[in-house]
Each structure stands twice: as structure tokens, then as C-alpha cells.
Amino acid sequence: MTLLSVENVSKSFAGVRVLRDVSFDVRPGEVLGLVGENGAGKSTVLSLITGLLAPDAGTVRFDGARVHSGIRAWSPHRARAAGIASVHQELSLNPHQSVAENVFLGAWPTRGGLVRHRDLVARARPLLSRVGLDVDPLTRAGRLPLGAQQLVELAKALTGDPRLLILDEATSALDDDQVRAVFRVVDELRAAGKSVVIVTHRMGELFAVSDRMTVLKDGEVVATRERAATDHDDLVKLMVGRELSDMFPPKSKDTAAVPAEPVLTVRGLAVPGSCAGIDLDLVPGRVIGLGGLQGQGQREVLRALFGLRRHSGQIDMDGRPCRLATPREAIRRGIGYVPEDRKTEGLHIAHSVRANLSLPSLRALAPARSLTTVSRRQEARLVAGLVDSMRIKASSPAQEVRRLSGGNQQKVALAKWLPTKPRVLLLAEPTRGIDVGTKRQIYHHLRELADSGMAVLVTSGDTMELVGLCDEVAVMYEGSIVDRLVGAELTEERLVHASVVGQEVTHV
Ligand SMILES: Nc1ncnc2c1ncn2[C@@H]1O[C@H](COP(=O)(O)OP(=O)(O)OP(=O)(O)O)[C@@H](O)[C@H]1O
Ligand SMILES: [Mg+2]
């Protein structure tokens, strides 16, 4: 028995084939994991199921009915009415409306033309608790941290009691606790005979929930496997086309050999309403992590250091006091920043891959330091080098960034800083939405940058990433640093413990 079947589907964009003869099916009460590298075609095939796109060839059937291929035109509205709900990495909430209003968007209880807020709130409560979200339903959605907003999206998807739930990297902005809440919902759905298709680049999550996994590579299905018949290495090999060893590079050699002075010292940094009393020493050659549950002030620390947030406290660079009041000042002093929200802060999505990649390097590319004449040849070389080393999948350097897959946009946001050789590199969630092969590449790249004398500060909700990548992790809780883990203390267990308990772990 199948609930959904995708049969020999193909799709091209502007003559470029993105899906070729893709077939897979989903049974009732089954969780199917859909995996593949960035740009493999996962989101595209899901868009065919949710009616956002139509295939060039092939058929999609839902519950026995042919929904594509001319029988009747599928649309997001029809898909939703038939019981298909989806949550994406991209948020679709209206930030100015309340959580409850967002959850029931388009279906508000009204009387005499007026929205009945009491009803709305009462109906939102059980849904919010089902997704493990403890917030006032009247809070404006835009005020919640990203992860909580993502859970509101999930609550919204659950309103129509869907028969098929699609999660396209819906967990990538969540911390471990929140991911567990999502998986509880997935388990409930499965137990009730409903189906789920999940896309995630976190392999641990994939194995934790999927019954079967379908691997896409360059727009084609290369394998579908029962969970019991595969393992992590097998799957990665299918996805990437080769084995992946040493996910994380070796950590910095004992820095005592060369007692490096911090390039940036932070004492008592405070951002009103977000964090206070933050002390950090950013040392060339070291990768420092800022851990903790989501929204404990990590992001604001980075934003303050890049001059995006008003802050107080003492910041010294090379031992001399410095002001970081604007991003311009920060850049001038050699600070680079890869923000969490690339769409609005990190990229010019309507511009080309080339323009985005070369923007921070324009000064270096302009001969004789005139900003008006950029050397096209040098620019082309720089862009080609970055596309190659970060494995950015674009049809050409002229492709608009908004036409790239999510993970490839992310790579552009990160790659553009690399040639500027900042002395301090601040990164928020550097590998969110990135496939395993490229993740490995990014970890090794960051370590090389550190080894060449850069000081790196990184936030991440992925504990494994912080433990594998960083030399030291400062754990934040409610705006303060509550613990610092170095060397043998830096384990996932300690990190998770300090994150939830919010105090220094007593050494046992
Ligand atoms: N509207 C579009 N116009 C042109 N090309 C597109 C468009 N949408 C997607 N593509 C291309 O189709 C390919 C597949 O993209 P898709 O978003 O399906 O990848 P994905 O597997 O979801 O990757 P990721 O893991 O990065 O999200 C990419 O190379 C992308 O550039
Ligand atoms: Mg995608």
C-alpha cells in the first residue's frame, strides 16, 4: 500500500535538468528520509508534491489519485486540502502577528466579522504544547528566537491533521531539545498511521526517525534503503560518491609553544536585554565556540562584536581599546561576520553568485585602490577558486543567488569572507543546511584559517560540531557565560549538561 508515489518525474529550470526520472513512494505509517548533497534536488521534488511546481514529465499520485500529469492541476491549496502539510527551513510566519494568529492563518474563528481572540488562543494552546513550545500564544511571532518560530511553523502544519507531513530541513535551526519535541510529533504521526517525509543534513537525526531512506544524487535516485539495511557510512558514500574520513580536523597544537597574544579581548560586554558580563579572549590560531541552548545571547555577542548592536564593556584589539560601533569599523579592523540569517543579512539574493562572492574583496580587486575599476580577470579567478573549493553548485557565476539551493546559498555567504583574510572571523551556525561532505570541507577550512593566524569565534546549536571543531567552548545561559570547556572537558555530555543546567558543572 502506498500513500504517495512519485513516478519517473523529471524537471528542468531554464534548460538545466534538475530531476531525472525520479521515483519513490511513501507508505501509510512510514517515515521516509530523503537525503542528498546540496543541490541534489530534494526541495524541488518536494515542491512537486506540495503543488508549488509541476513536473515536466512523470506522475505524482496521492492516495491513489493522479495529481499531476494533466488529470487535474495540483496546487498548494489542493495539496493542503488533500492532507499534505509542509514545514521548510524558510520561515513563512508573519512576524507582526501573534503566535496564535500565525498557527491558524486563514482560518481564524470570527463572530460578526471580528476575530475571536479568546477562541484562537484556546485552540492554539494544545497545538503549541504538542510541539513542546511554552510561549504565550499572544506573543508576536517575530519576537521569538528562530527555533521557536520553526516550532510555530510545525504547529501550523499540524492544524489540518495532515496525512502526510513534509519536513524540509525543518529541524536545522533547532537545538537538541527542540529536535526531540519534533521527533515526538513524528512518532505520534507514525503511530496514528500518518506519513512523514523528512529532509535533514544531520545524519544522526535521519537515522533516529526514518524507516527508509531515499538518496538523491545530481537529480537522480541512486538508492532506497531500509534503515536496518544501511548505516551512516554506506549512506554518506551513496550521497557523496566516496567515503568520508576524519570529519573533524585535528585541533590546534599546544598554543603554549607560541604564546599568542589575543587579537581581541572582551571584558564585561553587555547588550541590553540580551547578554552581560561577557569575557572572551580571541587568540590567533584558536577556534572558540559559543554554546548553549538557543537564544541565550550567543547571537547578540557576535552582532555586538561586528558593530551591529549597541553595547557596553571593554573591547581591546592588539592591546589597545577599540570601538566597534558600526560594521564598517569592524571590517576596517579586520573582523568578518557570517550571520545566521543569510537571506536578509548575509547575501544579496537578487544578485549573481559572482557579485556576492567578490563584494567583500572589491577593494583588493581594484587596481590602484580605485573602487571604480575592478579587474574582471582577477574577479573571475577569485570567484572560480571559491566556487571550486566550497563546491558551490551553480549553473554559472552569473546565476542569481536566490536560484541556488538553500545549502549553496549558505556556502556563498561563508565563502565570500574567505579571501578577505579577516583577523577575526565571527560565524553564526556556519554549517546549517550544509550537506555532510561540504560540512567536512568547512571544518577543515576553518581550521586552516585558524592555523594561518586567524581567531575564530563560532556559535552553533549542533553540540557535535562544537565538540569536534573547537579548541574551547564557552557555554551561555540567559545572557551569561556559565562554563568554559577545554581539552578533555570538552565532551558532548558536559556541553549538554552545562547548557541545560545553566551553571558550572561540578567536576566529578
Ligand atoms: N527556480 C530555479 N531556477 C533555477 N534553478 C533552480 C531553481 N530552483 C532550484 N534550482 C536548481 O535546482 C537544483 C536543485 O535544487 P534544490 O533546491 O532542489 O536542492 P536541494 O537538494 O534541496 O539542496 P539543499 O540541500 O541545498 O537544500 C539546484 O542546482 C538549484 O540551483
Ligand atoms: Mg533544499
Q: What percent of the chain has pLDDT over 90?
A: 66
Ligand 1 mutation pick, 405, 410, 432, max ligand atoms within 8 A of CB? 405
Question: Is pLDDT above 70 for 246?
Answer: yes
Question: Is pLDDT above 70 for 206?
Answer: yes
- Minimum-distance ligand 1 atom for the alpha carbon of 169: 27
Residue 313 phi/psi, 5° resolution? 115, 175
Distance from residue 249's CA to the centre of ligand 1 (Å) = 29
Distance from C-alpha of 473 to C-alpha of 506, rounded to nearest angstrom = 16
List C-alpha distances in Å: 86 to 96, 370, 423. 22, 49, 42
Q: What is the 3-state secondary structure (H, E, C) of 331-376?
A: HHCCEEEECCCHHHHHCCCCCEHHHHHHHHHHHHHCHHHCCCCCCH
- Minimum-distance ligand 1 atom for the alpha carbon of 409: 26
pLDDT tens for 58-89 read 999 999 888 876 556 788 999 999 999 999 87
Span 282-309, mean pLDDT? 94
Question: Is pLDDT above 80 for 365?
Answer: no
Q: Whose CA is nearest to atom 6 of ligand 1?
A: 403
Q: Whose CA is nearest to atom 13 of ligand 1?
A: 39
Q: Whose CA is nearest to atom 29 of ligand 1?
A: 39
Distance from residue 279's CA to the centre of ligand 2 (Å) = 38
Which ligand is located closest to the Cα atom of residue 408?
1
Question: Is pLDDT above 70 for 461?
Answer: yes
Q: Which of 246-255, 284-293, 364-373 has the lowest mean pLDDT?
A: 364-373
pLDDT tens for 17-34 read 999 999 999 999 999 999
* Residue the block writes with cell 576524519: 246
Residue bearing the bigger pLDDT, 19 or 113: 19
Distance from residue 343's CA to the centre of ligand 1 (Å) = 15
- Minimum-distance ligand 1 atom for the alpha carbon of 47: 18
Which ligand is located closest to the Cα atom of residue 215?
1
- pLDDT at site 503: 57
- pLDDT at site 366: 66
Which ligand is located closest to the Cα atom of residue 395?
1
Distance from residue 36's CA to the centre of ligand 1 (Å) = 12
Q: Which of 43-57, 95-109, 390-404 has the lowest mean pLDDT?
A: 95-109
Q: Report residue 505's pLDDT band, with 50, 70 and 90 as the boundaries.
A: very low
Residue bearing the bigger pLDDT, 173 or 110: 173
- The H-or-E segment that residue 114 falls in is strand 114-115
Q: Which three cell numbers stand for residue 79?
A: 495539496
Distance from residue 382's CA to the centre of ligand 1 (Å) = 24
Q: Whose CA is nearest to atom 3 of ligand 1?
A: 403
- pLDDT at site 160: 85
Q: Report residue 507's pLDDT band, with 50, 70 and 90 as the boundaries.
A: very low
Which domains, from first to last, does the chain contain? 4-240 (3.40.50.300), 244-334+422-508 (3.40.50.300), 350-420 (no CATH)
pLDDT tens for 250-276 read 987 655 555 578 999 999 999 999 999
- Minimum-distance ligand 1 atom for the alpha carbon of 219: 14
Q: Whose CA is nearest to atom 27 of ligand 1?
A: 406
Distance from residue 154's CA to the centre of ligand 2 (Å) = 17
pLDDT tens for 144-163 read 988 899 999 999 999 989 99
Span 301-311, mean pLDDT? 96
Distance from residue 48's CA to the centre of ligand 2 (Å) = 13
Residue bearing the bigger pLDDT, 289 or 1: 289
Pocket of ligand 1 (CB under 6 A): 13-14, 18, 36, 38-44, 393, 403-408, 435
Single out the residue of 146, 183, 186 nearest to residue 164, CA to CA. Answer: 186
Question: Is pLDDT above 50 for 192?
Answer: yes
- Minimum-distance ligand 1 atom for the alpha carbon of 37: 25
Distance from C-alpha of 357 to C-alpha of 146, rounded to nearest angstrom = 26
Q: Report residue 308's pLDDT band, with 50, 70 and 90 as the boundaries.
A: very high
Within 10 A of 320 (CB to CB), how many other CB atoms are there?
A: 6
- pLDDT at site 55: 93
Span 270-292, mean pLDDT? 96
Question: Is pLDDT above 70 for 334?
Answer: yes
Distance from residue 440's CA to the centre of ligand 1 (Å) = 21
Q: Whose CA is nearest to atom 2 of ligand 1?
A: 403
Q: What is the pTM of this model?
A: 0.85
- Residue 171: Cβ-neighbour burial (10 angstroms; 0-12, 13-18, 19+): buried
* Residue the block writes with cell 504547529: 155
Which ligand is located closest to the Cα atom of residue 392?
1
Q: Are 397 and 352 in contact (CB under 8 A)?
A: yes
Distance from C-alpha of 149 to C-alpha of 143, rounded to nearest angstrom = 9
What mean pLDDT, rounded, does the chain reach? 90
Q: Which three cell numbers stand for residue 170?
A: 525543518
Residue bearing the bigger pLDDT, 484 or 252: 484
Q: Whose CA is nearest to atom 12 of ligand 1?
A: 18
Distance from C-alpha of 31 to C-alpha of 195, rounded to nearest angstrom = 6
